[in-house]
Amino acid sequence: MSVLIYILVMAGSTYLIRMIPFTLFRKKIRSRFFRSVLYYIPYAVLSAMTFPAIFYSTENVITSVIGCVVAVVLAYLNQPLIVVALSASAAALLAGLVF
Amino acid sequence: MKLNFTKGMKDGIPIALGYLSVSFGFGILAASLGLTVLQAVGISASNLTSAGQVAGVGIIAAGGTLIEMVLTQLVINIRYSLMAISLSQKLDDSFTTPHRMAVAFGITDEIFAVASAQKGKITPRYMYGLIAVSAVGWTLGTFLGASAGQILPEALNDAMGIVLYGMFVAIVIPPARAHKGVLAVAAVAVGCSVLFYYVFTAVSSGFAIIICAVIAAVVGAILFPVEDEEEEEGGGQP
């Protein structure tokens, strides 16, 4: 299938998800359950996307694991996003020189 | 200060700088999956969303179905619907339907957070300034990352593959430290995802993410329902 079709479908769905509620909705969602699900969805998505895929994000599982550990430790220490992301990459790069 | 176009552009600069390095990682990822520079830039310019784009290029590379693409974007980006609803209460009277339809394109976690933090009602001009600068950062970073794939040494290129995942880790862990519900949701999602990756290998990655995210979020909503003030914090990626 043409990549262009994928891109159009992807962009169209992402846009409609934003546009329909922004244009039509004027009231607040009252259901606490539904609001809770929406609140948790981003964390659930990111967690599921990251593990175990992060272990295969470089050519070598060992360097990926080292980068992952560095990311987890720095994130736990509340470092900014960019610091965590680039440090993970730097750690994987340095580990690649050894392993 | 008046919420005009210039103020919007100024507020967009820190967002754009943050987006530059993250979208650089996306560009490298897209190029490594076989997409051209133009395709990668086209995706960033037309989507303006990090997690959705990463999952999207994964589906393209795997030759997934269009239904899988739509459902994946729906689940990953459903939080924008909540932000859109929340932001819709803060719009001033000049926000006609065409303005709403245009501004909706640029609702990301950061843009939502910055716009929500403004005192009083927000104007279309302010939103256009904010979105324009942020979108330039996001698209430019993608262009540089996708192009760099052909220029950078292979070792460096390879190590950049972890950048986006590092950012995802940085988004989830701090709130998981502070909030039991987020921790539980993250643990369920990771456990489920690992199970699909190694055991139920017949299920494609896009569907595995959808299934795991919905299960984990529902478990979190049942065990740890959120209070009113928590709902608008959101994640930290576009």
Given this model, what pLDDT does residue B229 score? Answer: 53
Query: Do the domain assignments include residue B88?
Result: yes
Given a cut of 70, whether residue B232 has pLDDT beyond it is no
Give the DSSP letter of residue A26: -
pLDDT tier for residue B228 given thresholds of 50, 70 and 90: low
Which of chain B's residues have a Cβ under 8 Å away from the Cβ of A86? 21, 163, 166
Q: Tell me if chain B has a CB within 8 Å of the CB of A73.
A: no
Domain that holds residue A31: 3-98
Name the 3-class secondary structure at B12.
Answer: helix
Place of tokens 């076989």: B34
- Judged by CB atoms closer than 8 Å, whether chains meet at A48 and B212 is answered as yes
Burial of B40 (0-12, 13-18, 19+ CB in 10 A): buried
Q: How many domains does chain B have?
A: 2
Query: Do the domain assignments include residue B237?
Result: no
Query: Do the domain assignments include residue B167?
Result: no
Q: Tell me if chain B has a CB within 8 Å of the CB of A16.
A: no
Place of tokens 């959101």: B234
Q: Is the peptide bond prior to A52 cis by the omega test (within 30 degrees of 0)?
A: yes
Tokens of B164: 């986006």
Give tens-digit pLDDT for B190-225: 999 999 999 999 887 777 888 898 999 999 999 999
Given a cut of 80, whether residue B230 has pLDDT beyond it is no
CA distances from B32 to B6, B27, B68, B146 (A): 37, 9, 22, 8
Distance of alpha carbon B88 from the chain centroid: 20
How far away is chain B from the Cα of A62, in angstroms, using its nearest Cα?
12
Given this model, what pLDDT does residue B234 score? Answer: 44
Which of chain B's residues have a Cβ under 8 Å away from the Cβ of A68? 162, 165, 169
Domain that holds residue B95: 5-160
Question: Does B207 share its domain with B91?
Answer: no
Q: How many domains does chain A have?
A: 1
Given a cut of 60, whether residue B72 has pLDDT beyond it is yes
Q: Tell me if chain B has a CB within 8 Å of the CB of A61.
A: no
The 10 Å Cβ neighbour count of residue B151 is 9
Given this model, what pLDDT does residue B236 score? Answer: 42
Q: Tell me if chain A has a CB within 8 Å of the CB of B188.
A: yes
Give the DSSP letter of residue A53: G
Question: Does B136 share its domain with B227?
Answer: no
Helix pair B163-178, A61-76: axis angle to 10 deg: 40
- From CA B109, how far away is CA B173, in angstroms rounded? 17
- From CA A78, how far away is CA B174, in angstroms rounded? 6
Nearest to A75 among B46, B162, B174 (CB): B174
Exposure pattern of A20-36 as b/e (b: 16+ CB <10 Å)?
A: ebbbebeeeeeeeeebb
Give tens-digit pLDDT for A19-30: 999 998 766 677
Place of tokens 């006609």: B96
Given a cut of 60, whether residue B238 has pLDDT beyond it is no
Q: How far apart are the first and last CA of chain B?
A: 26
- % pLDDT > 90, chain B: 55
Q: Which of A34, A35, A37 to mutate to test the interface with B (most CBs of B within 10 A)?
A: A37
Of A23-27, B139-143, B177-181, the one with minimum mean pLDDT is A23-27
Question: Does B137 share its domain with B32?
Answer: yes
Question: Does B156 share its domain with B185?
Answer: no
- Judged by CB atoms closer than 8 Å, whether chains meet at A67 and B162 is answered as yes
Question: Does B208 share its domain with B136?
Answer: no
- Residues of B (134-153) whose Cβ lies below 8 Å from A: none
Given a cut of 50, whether residue B231 has pLDDT beyond it is no
Query: Do the domain assignments include residue B143?
Result: yes
Task: Give the ipTM of the model, two decimals please.
Answer: 0.88
Please give the interface size between A and B, counted as residue pairs whose CB atoms are below 8 Å apart: 302
Given a cut of 60, whether residue B165 has pLDDT beyond it is yes
- From CA B156, how far away is CA B154, in angstroms rounded? 5
- From CA B51, how far away is CA A13, in angstroms rounded? 14
Given a cut of 60, whether residue A81 has pLDDT beyond it is yes
Given this model, what pLDDT does residue B233 score? Answer: 45
Q: Tell which of B109, B129, B160 closes a domain.
A: B160
Query: Do the domain assignments include residue B48?
Result: yes
- Asked whether B8 and B130 are in contact (CB, 8 A), the reply is yes
Question: Does B144 share its domain with B195?
Answer: no
The 10 Å Cβ neighbour count of residue B30 is 28
Which of chain B's residues have a Cβ under 8 Å away from the Cβ of A26? 88-89
Question: Does B41 share its domain with B155?
Answer: yes
Mean pLDDT of B36-47: 97
Question: Does B65 share its domain with B110?
Answer: yes
Query: Do the domain assignments include residue B93?
Result: yes
Give B237 or A25, the one with higher predicted confidence. Answer: A25
Question: Does B221 share its domain with B151?
Answer: no
Query: Do the domain assignments include residue B121?
Result: yes
Helix pair A81-98, B163-178: axis angle to 10 deg: 130
Mean pLDDT of B31-45: 95
Find which of A76-90, B50-64, B148-162, B224-238 is predicted with most confidence, using mean pLDDT.
B50-64
How far away is chain B from the Cα of A66, in angstroms, using its nearest Cα?
11
Residue B170 amino acid letter:
A
Query: Do the domain assignments include residue B168?
Result: no
- Judged by CB atoms closer than 8 Å, whether chains meet at A45 and B189 is answered as yes
Given this model, what pLDDT does residue B80 score? Answer: 87
